[in-house]
Amino acid sequence: MPDLETVIGLEVHAQMNTKSKMFCGCDNDAFGKPPNTTVCPICMGHPGTLPAPNEEAIKKAMKASLAIGCKIQEENHFDRKHYFYPDLPPGFQISQYDFPLSTKGEVKFNISDDSGNKVGDVRVCGITRLHMENDAGKLTHRGEKTLCDYNRAGTPLVEIVTEPDLRSPEEAVAFAQELRRILIAVNSSEADMFKGMMRFDASVSLREKGSKKLNPRSEIKNLNSFKSLERALTYEIKRLGKKWEEEGGPLKNDITVGWVDDDEQTKMLRDKETAMDYRYFPEPDIPPLRFTKKDIEKLKAEMPALPSELKLKYEEMGLEDFEVRMLIDQPYFRIIFDKVAEETKDVKRSRSIVLTQLAGFIKSDDGKEKPDEDFVTEQIIALIADERITKNQEKEYLKDIVDGMTVEQIVKDKGVRDVDESEMEELIEKAIEANPQAVESFKAGKEQAIGAIVGWVMKESGGQADPARVNEMLKKKL
């Protein structure tokens, strides 16, 4: 048995988060809406209707192209891709075949461990192409019956095809996760995995180590989570390895398989379909798309910061891998952190309050409504600026802010709990009086004797005084 190498390439489908569908005015957000209520004669493919491309979708696809380093083709067009299946009422999908929107990009990514720390060097995966198309409807099989919901039919998709550059299931997942971050960063897709907004077809083959040859592949269709992507690939690689051992070589021809989550195994669907099977031809109802260099330059100028750029910025600020990851993946915390750090110029405190404490109160994936980020930002800045608020109180105050209170209100409500200037003066006078021995020792040069006096003030204030501030005031006084 020779040493074998795994070769993986992905086709990624991501739903674009536009207001309306790809070729009609129907609502593109069908989430939670009754089946077949966001449909019209165009997305249902009725004869005599005409598709009109969605400008917003095209812009989002162009931004996604630029973000993955692809070159936008100044001239490209839509094609009809035919297949006959009940999820596709017109009998063809409007896609792009030989002149896709963009080509030849690359995405750099890292593999991380569970706590978000980088493992190993930066990897690169080439991108073959990105094109636009419309999604199909959704079928639900119930015993003998099949239910059809066409709300999703016509949703704009970008399809991103990679080069066969990935070498393990782990790399495939890390790449897919980076791609997800990028699509979210440029606001092309919400890429919500739970809502099926991002799906993968994974092609995999084996070859002898050192060989550059591409052997026939097995294409695993329609994986809709990172977990199933990883498991399906792991399973299929093992299966192909065993087959190689038994038959002395790779697959004889390309095949298409499905992943059955419940059985944890792949299932043969068919020999792979070829372009011929789809009878592609240029979509006669939509003129070719033409972009000028100026259009593309304008879009480039509008591009938001990409995950790779954010990563550099936060690494330079001295943040840990897991903090960087959190800021990239969770724009809610990023918006707050950026403003707080900029306003207070105190990165250390901003990290501790926003990335540790606040993140403890607000979970980004629990589906609950989060408090308004401008409000939270403003209040955290006020919290840091208010010197009367001690470290001890900070966390409790933060909880109240999350619950919608302003720092001003909290201080007013919990007034007893904060030690104001005159109260503090008084406490310090008293402390000096009550601890003559410690005062004596301190004056004689025994620095640590001050600890006893600080402790007295803390106790007297019911733990509310800020020890650092007490220390400082005492030293001044003595």
State the number of binding residues for Zn ion (CB under 5 A): 5
Pairing mode, strands 218-223 and 255-260 = parallel
- How does 45-56 read in b/e, with b if 16+ C-beta sit within 10 Å? beeebebebbee
Q: Does 217 bind ligand ADP (CB under 6 A)?
A: yes
354: Cβ contacts below 8 Å, ≥ 6 apart:
333, 336, 337, 340, 380
Amino acid present at 318? G
Q: At which residue do the structure tokens 């099926």 appear?
A: 196
* Residue whose CB is less far from ligand ADP, 161 or 198: 161
203 binds, among Mg ion, ligand ADP, Zn ion, none (CB under 5 to 8 A by kind): ligand ADP
Q: Does 24 bind Zn ion (CB under 5 A)?
A: yes
| Contact pick of 54, 95, 96, 162 for ligand ADP (by CB under 6 A) | 162
| Contact of 202 with 233, CB cutoff 8 Å | yes
Q: Does 57 bind Zn ion (CB under 5 A)?
A: no
**In the complex, least distance from residue 36 CB atom to Zn ion, rounded to whole angstroms:** 11
| Contact pick of 214, 260, 434, 468 for ligand ADP (by CB under 6 A) | 214
* Nearest CA among 292, 224, 286 for reference residue 96: 286
| Phi, psi angle pair for 403, to nearest 5° | -80, 0
Applying CB under 5 A, which residues contact Mg ion? Answer: 11, 201
Q: Does 205 bind ligand ADP (CB under 6 A)?
A: yes
| Interacting residues with ligand ADP between 218 and 237 (CB under 6 A) | 219
| Contact of 304 with 179, CB cutoff 8 Å | no
Q: Does 11 bind ligand ADP (CB under 6 A)?
A: yes
**Range in contact with Zn ion (rule: CB under 5 A) among 38-46, 101-109, 171-179, 442-450:** 38-46
* Residue whose CB is less far from Zn ion, 21 or 231: 21
| Contact pick of 14, 24, 161, 457 for ligand ADP (by CB under 6 A) | 161
Q: Does 465 bind Zn ion (CB under 5 A)?
A: no
To which H or E segment does residue 157 belong? strand 156-162
Q: Does 215 bind ligand ADP (CB under 6 A)?
A: yes
Report the phi/psi class of residue 258: left, alpha or beta, with left for phi > 0 and alpha for psi in -120 to 50: beta
* Residue whose CB is less far from ligand ADP, 103 or 390: 103
* Residue whose CB is less far from ligand ADP, 213 or 293: 213
24 binds, among ligand ADP, Mg ion, Zn ion, none (CB under 5 to 8 A by kind): Zn ion
**In the complex, least distance from residue 161 CB atom to ligand ADP, rounded to whole angstroms:** 5
Q: Does 250 bind ligand ADP (CB under 6 A)?
A: no
State how far the Cα of 19 lies from the Cα of 26, in Å rounded to an integer: 8
* Residue whose CB is less far from Zn ion, 151 or 435: 151
**Range in contact with ligand ADP (rule: CB under 6 A) among 159-167, 319-327, 379-387, 418-426:** 159-167
Q: What angle do CA 238, 244, 245 make, to 5 degrees?
A: 90
Q: Does 40 bind Zn ion (CB under 5 A)?
A: yes
**In the complex, least distance from residue 153 CB atom to ligand ADP, rounded to whole angstroms:** 20
| Contact of 204 with 254, CB cutoff 8 Å | no
Q: What angle do CA 262, 85, 60 make, to 5 degrees?
A: 85
| Contact pick of 8, 10, 26, 438 for Zn ion (by CB under 5 A) | 26
* Nearest CA among 467, 371, 472, 474 for reference residue 419: 467
Using only C-alpha atoms, the chain has a radius of gyration, in whole angstroms, of 30
401: Cβ contacts below 8 Å, ≥ 6 apart:
371, 376, 379, 380, 383, 407, 410
| Phi, psi angle pair for 75, to nearest 5° | -125, 125
**Range in contact with ligand ADP (rule: CB under 6 A) among 155-163, 177-185, 226-234, 461-469:** 155-163
* Site residues (vs ligand ADP, CB under 6 A): 7-11, 161-164, 203-205, 214-215, 217, 219
* Residues at the contact surface with Zn ion, assessed by CB under 5 A: 24, 26, 40, 42-43
